[in-house]
């Protein structure tokens, strides 16, 4: 049985935080998918799921956990305006808009069109509709997809100057990994929550599978495990970059995160596993294998996943299990990062 996560609790002590999660999210098994994937194999792999699609805020998702710490800092500084950038169908932006509404502060969302050749539904439904419902102001950065994250962050500085000029105190939620990864504290804390659930349910895990995009979730999981001296491999399924670029990003965020919590722990590059086989043509695109995985998860254990993040990571989980990449009788935990509103934006592709 895992020991109580006192090291994580100590590491997070002192960081300002606001309560956004409704409750701890469930840790469940996936009995039907487990049974299906273990047919005609010489190994048995038991699949579990951490239901961070059920974090409670505005249709859930993994961004709730980082925002507890990010907006904790914003509130502690007396900020009354947040500014964030993301893709047209950004779960992060949707969660930020909802959290801002909950906390009684204003939200400005800068969107970037990272996915080409999408229909009108993509640009009006899903998260885009929710931005409007939550009362966020939305602007468009046409050069975001081409010039990258640093350019998008610089544009946020220009927007913040406007708000300063009208008497607001803005807080920028940056996208680039060059800034302190305050949001990654949320997934250090998620490991605390998981370990306590494991003690209650008498489970030990032999691997964890997660989507790896901004690297906040991936890095937080790695650091949380390292703080408790747990050598559980974490399989990061790439959703935006190839595996080499994503590995470098995770390494960078891990180093910054360890510095942020004043830890002298070292996490070697060999511990950072990234897999881009389900990336398809890039961010927001969906291969047939991902579409099949989305449907399989829904039709076995009624788990809904989206084409951008969780659909790719569930495809990775399924393939790794089918390949017998895990040891016999392994318990594997899948981190469900949510993204339910995006399902409706991809109606034309998902209904085929």
Domain boundaries along the sequence of the chain: 6-61+182-350, 64-173
> Do 64-173 and 6-61+182-350 have the same topology in CATH?
yes
Over the stretch 26-59, which tens digit does the pLDDT of each residue have? 999 999 999 999 998 888 999 999 999 999 999 9
* Per-residue pLDDT at 144 exceeds 80: no
Determine the straight-line distance between the first and last CA of the chain, rounded to whole angstroms. 45
Pick the CATH number of 6-61+182-350 from 3.60.9.10, 3.60.150.10, 3.30.230.10, 3.40.50.1100: 3.40.50.1100
Over the stretch 63-100, which tens digit does the pLDDT of each residue have? 999 999 999 999 999 999 999 999 999 999 999 999 99
Q: How much is the pLDDT for 106?
A: 98
The Cα 232–Cα 139 span in angstroms is 42
**C-alpha distance from residue 57 to each of 41, 53, 65, 157, 215 (Å):** 40, 10, 10, 27, 21
Report the top-level CATH class of 64-173. alpha beta
**SS3 call for 227:** helix
* Per-residue pLDDT at 210 exceeds 80: yes
Q: What is the pTM of this model?
A: 0.97
Instruction: Enter the tokens of residue 24.
Output: 């701890």
Q: What amino acid positions are annotated as catalytic residues?
A: 90
Number of H helices, E strands in the chain: 15, 10
Over the stretch 150-180, which tens digit does the pLDDT of each residue have? 899 999 999 999 999 999 999 999 988 999 9
Over the stretch 279-297, which tens digit does the pLDDT of each residue have? 999 999 999 999 999 999 9
Q: What is the mean pLDDT of residues 256-277?
A: 98
- pLDDT above 90 as % of the chain: 93
* Per-residue pLDDT at 145 exceeds 70: no
**Rounded mean pLDDT of the chain?**
96
Instruction: Enter the tokens of residue 54.
Output: 């059920």
């Amino acid at each position: 049985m895992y020991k109580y996560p006192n090291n994580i609790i100590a590491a997070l002590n002192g960081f300002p935080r606001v309560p956004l999660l409704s409750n701890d999210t469930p840790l469940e098994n996936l009995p039907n998918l487990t049974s299906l994937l273990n047919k005609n194999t010489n190994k048995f792999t038991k699949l579990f799921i951490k239901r961070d699609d059920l974090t409670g805020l505005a249709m859930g998702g993994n961004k709730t956990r980082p925002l507890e710490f990010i907006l904790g800092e914003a509130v502690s500084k007396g900020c009354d305006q947040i500014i964030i950038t993301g893709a047209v169908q950004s779960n992060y932006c949707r969660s930020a808009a909802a959290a801002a509404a909950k906390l009684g502060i204003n939200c400005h969302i800068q969107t970037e069109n990272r996915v080409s050749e999408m229909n009108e539904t993509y640009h009006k439904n899903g998260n885009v509709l929710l931005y409007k419902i939550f009362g966020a102001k939305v602007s468009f950065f046409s050069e975001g997809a081409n010039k990258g994250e640093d350019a998008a962050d610089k544009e946020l500085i220009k927007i913040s100057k406007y708000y300063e000029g009208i008497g607001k105190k803005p807080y920028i939620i940056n996208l680039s990994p060059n800034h302190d990864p305050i949001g990654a504290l949320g997934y250090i804390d998620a490991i605390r929550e998981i370990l306590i659930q494991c003690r209650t349910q008498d489970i030990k895990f032999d691997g964890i599978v997660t989507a790896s995009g901004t690297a906040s979730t991936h890095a937080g999981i790695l650091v949380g495990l390292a703080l408790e001296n747990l050598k559980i491999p974490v399989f990061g399924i790439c959703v935006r970059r190839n595996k080499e670029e994503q590995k470098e990003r995770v390494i960078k965020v891990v180093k910054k995160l360890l510095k942020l919590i004043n830890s002298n722990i070292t996490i070697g590059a060999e511990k950072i596993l990234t897999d881009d086989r389900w990336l398809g043509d890039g961010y927001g695109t969906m291969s047939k294998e991902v579409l099949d995985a989305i449907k399989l998860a829904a039709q076995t254990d009624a788990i809904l996943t989206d084409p951008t993040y969780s659909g790719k990571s569930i495809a990775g989980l399924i393939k790794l299990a089918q390949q017998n990449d895990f040891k016999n009788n392994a318990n594997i935990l899948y981190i469900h990062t949510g993204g339910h509103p995006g399902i409706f934006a991809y109606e034309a592709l998902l209904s085929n």
